[in-house]
């Protein structure tokens, strides 16, 4: 089993998440600082780059789905075995990770669950991320390591875990404008760093009187600061990718069944486009609507320091920070 697991390929290998924002990261520097510098630290410019990345990526993926050369979806072999134990009895995911997650508050989970239901109408065989496992990766320290390697990293970082997990309590970053992002292996609900939009978050968050001032500290600034604090422990940070994206995985494909024909794929792409129009018209900047698309990282709970086999929302919490 272990030998077979080592031969399985992560979907990242065949479906690389590229940075389409146009920002160049120099070796050795904090990768999150590169984008902040390119945007002169301005929230509106940072939001624009996040928007550019996700729009360009969706366009790229839409072309792949509708291309005459389309061959197949990229099925995750690890998740396939975990969800279908008869394929490989006794299989366990050998990839251990160490991460800091931002957990979405209840009103964002409600929105994500609504989107999952709508998407499953277009693709009934879609694997949906369980809502209690939903998360946004603020920083990935390590992935695909052994339990012993992860344990040594946790020991090194332990003195700084309280300050890392509690960072959003004093450094508050707001996210807005939810949008479905997708590729050949999965889809997610992605957000943009706020830049002066009206505050819509429900209690327990108190209203921000001056969004121009409060939004000057963006989610990308938070990721930069978490990176610096984590690196100060001496641990080597081995993130798979650093892109201007704030996303929560909604689902993955485990079969080709819903996307075998061009007609099926057109229906799928149209369903995503329709949901994104609905989000823009009925959720973005809408006060008093049924769904709220804005949230503040740290709302309800601080960052979740987590390790183990957590690729699909599993693993265990080492420490979670104070929420507000």
What is the predicted pLDDT for the residue at 5? 46
What is the predicted pLDDT for the residue at 199? 87
Nearest to 46 by CA among 57, 31, 34, 36: 36
Contact between 189 and 115 (Cβ < 8 Å) = yes
Distances 322 to 37, 55, 157 between C-alpha atoms, Å = 30, 34, 18
Question: d(Cα 226, Cα 212) in Å, to the nearest integer?
Answer: 23
pTM: 0.90
Q: Going by C-beta distance under 8 Å and a sequence separation of 6 or more, which residues neighbour residue 206?
A: none
Work out the pLDDT band at 2, boundaries 50, 70, 90.
Answer: very low
Q: What is the mean pLDDT of residues 195-218?
A: 77
Q: What are phi and psi of 178, to 5 degrees?
A: -65, 150
Rounded-to-10 torsion of CA 93, 188, 168, 223:
80
271-315 per-position pLDDT tens digit:
999 999 999 999 999 998 999 999 999 999 999 999 999 989 999
Q: What is the mean pLDDT of residues 11-32?
A: 64
233-270 per-position pLDDT tens digit:
999 898 777 788 999 999 999 999 999 999 999 999 99
Domains present along the chain, CATH in parentheses: 2-13+47-320 (3.90.1140.10)
Q: What is the mean pLDDT of residues 126-145?
A: 95
Higher pLDDT, 21 or 31: 31
Question: d(Cα 117, Cα 124) in Å, to the nearest integer?
Answer: 9
């Amino acid at each position: 089993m272990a030998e077979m697991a080592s031969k399985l390929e992560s979907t990242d290998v065949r479906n690389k998440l590229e940075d389409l924002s146009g920002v160049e990261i120099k070796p050795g520097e904090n990768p999150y600082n590169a984008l902040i510098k390119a945007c002169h630290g301005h929230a509106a410019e940072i939001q624009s780059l996040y928007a550019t990345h996700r729009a360009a990526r969706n366009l790229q993926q839409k072309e792949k789905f509708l291309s005459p050369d389309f061959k197949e979806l990229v099925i995750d072999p690890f998740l396939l075995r975990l969800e279908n134990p008869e394929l490989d009895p006794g299989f366990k995911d050998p990839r251990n990770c160490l991460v800091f997650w931002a957990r979405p508050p209840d009103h964002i989970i409600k929105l994500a669950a609504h989107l999952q239901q709508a998407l499953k109408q277009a693709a009934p065989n879609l694997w949906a991320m369980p809502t209690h496992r939903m998360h946004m990766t603020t920083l990935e320290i390590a992935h695909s390591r052994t339990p012993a390697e992860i344990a040594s990293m946790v020991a090194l970082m332990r003195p700084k875990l309280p300050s890392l997990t509690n960072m959003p309590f004093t450094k508050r970053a707001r996210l807005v404008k939810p949008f479905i992002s997708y590729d050949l292996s999965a889809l997610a609900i992605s957000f943009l760093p706020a830049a002066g939009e009206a505050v819509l978050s429900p209690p327990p968050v108190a209203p921000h009187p001056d969004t121009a001032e409060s939004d000057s500290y963006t989610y990308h600034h938070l990721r930069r600061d978490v990176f610096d604090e984590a690196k100060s422990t001496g641990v080597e940070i081995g993130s798979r990718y650093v892109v201007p994206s704030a996303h929560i995985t909604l689902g993955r494909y485990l079969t080709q069944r819903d996307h075998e024909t061009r007609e099926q794929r057109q229906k799928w792409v149209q369903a995503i486009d329709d949901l994104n129009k609905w989000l823009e018209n009925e959720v973005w900047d809408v006060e008093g609507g049924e769904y709220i698309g804005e949230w503040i990282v740290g709302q309800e709970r601080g960052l979740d320091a987590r390790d183990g086999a957590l690729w699909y929302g599993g693993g265990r919490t080492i420490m979670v920070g104070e929420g507000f």
